[in-house]
Every structure is written in C-alpha cells, then in structure tokens.
Structure 1
Amino acid sequence: MVTLRCEGCGRDIAMHELEAKTVTERDGFTTRYRCPFCHEGIDDVAESLG
C-alpha cells in the first residue's frame, strides 16, 4: 500500500484516504490535497510519499 506522512499530525495516510479538491482554471485543472485527520494541506503529494 502506498502511504505518505502528514507534516501536520505525523500520521501515515494511504493514498485513497487523502481528501482532494479539483478546481477548473483557465489553463486547466488544479488539485489540492489535505489530510483527512487534521485537515493540513499537503502541497506536493509526490514529495511526501514514504
């Protein structure tokens, strides 16, 4: 299972547990992710993979 560690609360989060919000922009799409436990924003999911 692929997990990442939240910088805010230190918990391991499975990729399917991440809260994601995708918004349409003029140039395409932007997706923001956050921890489902403490709601801390996770800026770069690729860097946070552990």
Structure 2
Amino acid sequence: MVRVHCAGCGRDVAIHELETKTVAQRSGFETRYRCPFCHEEVEDVADSFG
C-alpha cells in the first residue's frame, strides 16, 4: 500500500484515504490532495506514484 507523509499531523496516510479536489483551469486540470485527519494540503503525492 502506498502512503504519503503529512507534514501537518505527522501521520502516514494511504493514497486512497486522501481527500481530493480537482478544478478546471485554462491550461487543463489541477488536482489538490489533503490529509483526511488535519486537512493540511499534501505536496508529495505525485512522487509516491511510480
């Protein structure tokens, strides 16, 4: 199971547990990921894929 570290609360959160928000922009789509526990934005999600 792939996990990312949340700097806000210090927990390791599974990718499928993250809250996501995708918005349309002129250049395409932007997806933001947040911790489900402290709601801090998680930056290193893309590094965990692959």
Q: Taking structure 2 as the reference length, what is the TM-score of the superposition? A: 0.85
Of 15-24 and 35-44, more deviation after overlay is shown by 35-44
Equivalent pairs counted in the alignment come to 48
In angstroms, what is the RMSD of aligned CA positions? 1.1
Give the match for residue 24 of structure 2: 24
TM-score relative to the length of structure 1: 0.85
Q: Is the 8 A contact 2:21 2:32 kept in 1?
A: yes
By relative contact order (CA 8 Å, sep 6+), the higher-ranking structure is 1
Map of 1:13 onto structure 2: 13
Which runs of 5 or more residues in structure 2 are unaligned?
A: none
Runs of 4+, deviation exceeding 2 Å? none
Uncovered stretches (5+) of structure 1, i.e. residues with no partner: none
Q: Between the two proteins, what is the percent identity of the paired residues?
A: 67
